[in-house]
Chains A and B, each alone.
Chain A
């Protein structure tokens, strides 16, 4: 059942602002700004910063400068800079550009896969296997994402068994960590618990992460539930960058500042300096000419 005590001593934050965040922002951000953002985040104590995506610029214009970003960011010791590699071609480009960790994106919904990458879950897994095989040969760690873990914009309800199935496939092909994403933010502590209970029967909790969207305001409650169940890795985006492509005007990623505020209040170590993250958030919001989605930042900076 739920526990109040027994929380992890340490939670690793995976900062996805520069990739997931910026990818879902309408305004295209100049390369210099992206690099400056990542450098500032590196100085904030974050240990993982998702830097960019080696996807065709035809599909994701925001990430067209992936090679330049990867080559020019400061590489701080002890910080990982994973990049998305949707296929073998992207993987090779990423390695050539200096990437030392990559990510692949699966989904627990057939419809979502079809609409997004025009193939079935089965077919997408085959593509990822090509990536993980090559990655293994080169000693490159691969992180696996499972989208729609708590609901799908097309299918609606997603059964935990499907999430388990896809997670298991990614884990057995060599992904060291599986990030379970509530892609449209519809999850609640109830559905989070049910889904995690199912997944944790098959995958060790130390290999699990949660990637919660705050579209319905549930992200922190869902994250709390996950860490109460032993999950020790949480994805978030500085300033809550990245809207929701499925609900116009709605928010997407949970804000790193707000997650940190909660973890700090729980006495959980993260190694991250909240104030420096807020400053990085302030920087990118100014550059994007938008208001931050972080409530902590809103409360802290006098408008």
Chain B
């Protein structure tokens, strides 16, 4: 068991946004973590050529997004869409001030990622035993043990690690998830050294009610400055859920350009919330994101053309002349 140790607090602090929240007021600034190129594309049916992925990420870099999840160092046997991970990471332009984290499900992936030039990695836990069993064929405890190998190696290499917790508001197998379970897993990952914990409503079943309940529990164990929300829009609740999170002091939000990435658990349903729609809301609230919405929309139009699919972003749907 890894000794409770915060990896690289100085680096972690610089990665956190300047959020000044009083109880009940909104953050002045929100850091958007763009997961389209990884989480989005991974859940799209059509395989995207490497050059298109690189162009997408470069276009996103131009928008002002501070964090762009670039790819996943997972076996191509499991995730063919991410088979070109090394090529993508080495082919993209690395804009100064922009982070390009990559997923590393295990030590092998981590090592490959670092060899390919990764400067930040992510690991994925879950608040549901059944989900963990079905997805990676082990228990939550065992998955955390696997991650501790990655944490060790990351610590030694001065590489920050972001932790994701899936199924925080519901599980496709277990149904209801206890907020206490989410708090427990989040706390473990945070004390293992993750600088930030992204709480994911994996199947989008959450509502402002369950979001509030879950965050209240987690915030007892993990400081709000280290929390992010990753809402899926499968039931149309994502922006309302995100708003509640902001009201409770969360200032980091994950989203996906054009709302890329369907839901593997509800055929034909949507998944990730669209970055364009999120930015529209944040700017309307006077919250600073650093993102140029126009350029973001262009990146979304580009990737939708390449994927031959319609955008899931309502802002883009309302703006384009058909």
For the A-B complex, the count of residue pairs with Cβ-Cβ distances under 8 Å equals 124
- Check if A191 is an interface residue, CB within 8 A of chain B: yes
Given A216-B314, A261-B207, verify A190-B237 contact (CB < 8 Å).
no
- Check if B66 is an interface residue, CB within 8 A of chain A: no
- Check if B322 is an interface residue, CB within 8 A of chain A: yes
- Closest B residue to A223 by beta carbon equals B240
Instruction: Encode contact with B along A1-35: 1 for CB under 8 Å, 0 otherwise.
Output: 11110000000000000000000000000000000
- Check if B204 is an interface residue, CB within 8 A of chain A: yes
Q: How far is the CA of A60 from the CA of B302 in the complex (A)?
A: 39
- Closest A residue to B216 by beta carbon equals A4
From B212, B243, B248, B286, name the one whose CB has the most chain A CB atoms within 10 angstroms.
B243
Whether B207 lies near A264 (C-beta < 8 A) is: yes
- Check if A46 is an interface residue, CB within 8 A of chain B: no
- Check if B233 is an interface residue, CB within 8 A of chain A: yes
Binds B, one of A99-107, A138-146, A160-168, A290-298: A290-298
Interface residues on A, range: 35 or more
Instruction: Encode contact with B along A184-201: 1 for CB under 8 Å, 0 otherwise.
Output: 010111110000000000
Q: How far is the CA of A166 from the CA of B306 in the complex (A)?
A: 48
* Chain A min CB distance to B266 (Å): 4
* Chain A min CB distance to B82 (Å): 26
- Check if A50 is an interface residue, CB within 8 A of chain B: no
Q: Could you tell me how many residues of chain B have their Cβ less than 8 Å away from some Cβ of chain A?
A: 45
- Check if B79 is an interface residue, CB within 8 A of chain A: no
- Check if A220 is an interface residue, CB within 8 A of chain B: yes
Whether A190 lies near B244 (C-beta < 8 A) is: no
Whether B285 lies near A189 (C-beta < 8 A) is: yes
From A216, A217, A265, name the one whose CB has the most chain B CB atoms within 10 angstroms.
A217
* Chain B min CB distance to A231 (Å): 15
Question: Which residues of chain A have C-beta atoms less than 8 A from B268's C-beta?
Answer: 298, 302-303
Q: How far is the CA of A254 from the CA of B313 in the complex (A)?
A: 15
Whether A2 lies near B25 (C-beta < 8 A) is: yes
- Check if B97 is an interface residue, CB within 8 A of chain A: no
Whether B286 lies near A299 (C-beta < 8 A) is: no
Whether B235 lies near A295 (C-beta < 8 A) is: yes
* Chain B min CB distance to A105 (Å): 22
- Closest A residue to B169 by beta carbon equals A265
Whether A265 lies near B207 (C-beta < 8 A) is: yes
Interface residues of B in 222-267 (CB under 8 A from A): 233-237, 239-240, 242-244, 247-248, 263, 266-267
Binds B, one of A111-119, A170-178, A245-253: A245-253
From B233, B235, B267, B314, name the one whose CB has the most chain A CB atoms within 10 angstroms.
B235
Question: Which residues of chain B have C-beta atoms less than 8 A from A265's C-beta?
Answer: 206-210, 237
Question: Which residues of chain B have C-beta atoms less than 8 A from A235's C-beta?
Answer: none
Residue from A248, A249, A267 within 8 A of B209 (CB atoms): A267
- Check if A42 is an interface residue, CB within 8 A of chain B: no
Given A218-B284, A220-B239, A261-B236, verify A266-B24 contact (CB < 8 Å).
no
Whether B270 lies near A298 (C-beta < 8 A) is: yes
- Check if B269 is an interface residue, CB within 8 A of chain A: yes
- Closest A residue to B24 by beta carbon equals A1
Question: Which residues of chain A have C-beta atoms less than 8 A from B212's C-beta?
Answer: 4
Interface residues of A in 213-245 (CB under 8 A from B): 214-218, 220-221, 223-225, 244
Whether A296 lies near B236 (C-beta < 8 A) is: yes
Whether A217 lies near B235 (C-beta < 8 A) is: no
- Closest A residue to B25 by beta carbon equals A1
- Closest B residue to A295 by beta carbon equals B236
Whether B277 lies near A217 (C-beta < 8 A) is: yes
- Check if B161 is an interface residue, CB within 8 A of chain A: no
Besides the known contacts A190-B284, A299-B235, 4 further A-B residue pairs in the complex with CB atoms under 8 A apart: A188-B281, A247-B319, A262-B240, A298-B269
* A-B residue pairs, 6 tightest by C-beta: A265-B207, A188-B284, A217-B314, A295-B236, A303-B268, A217-B277
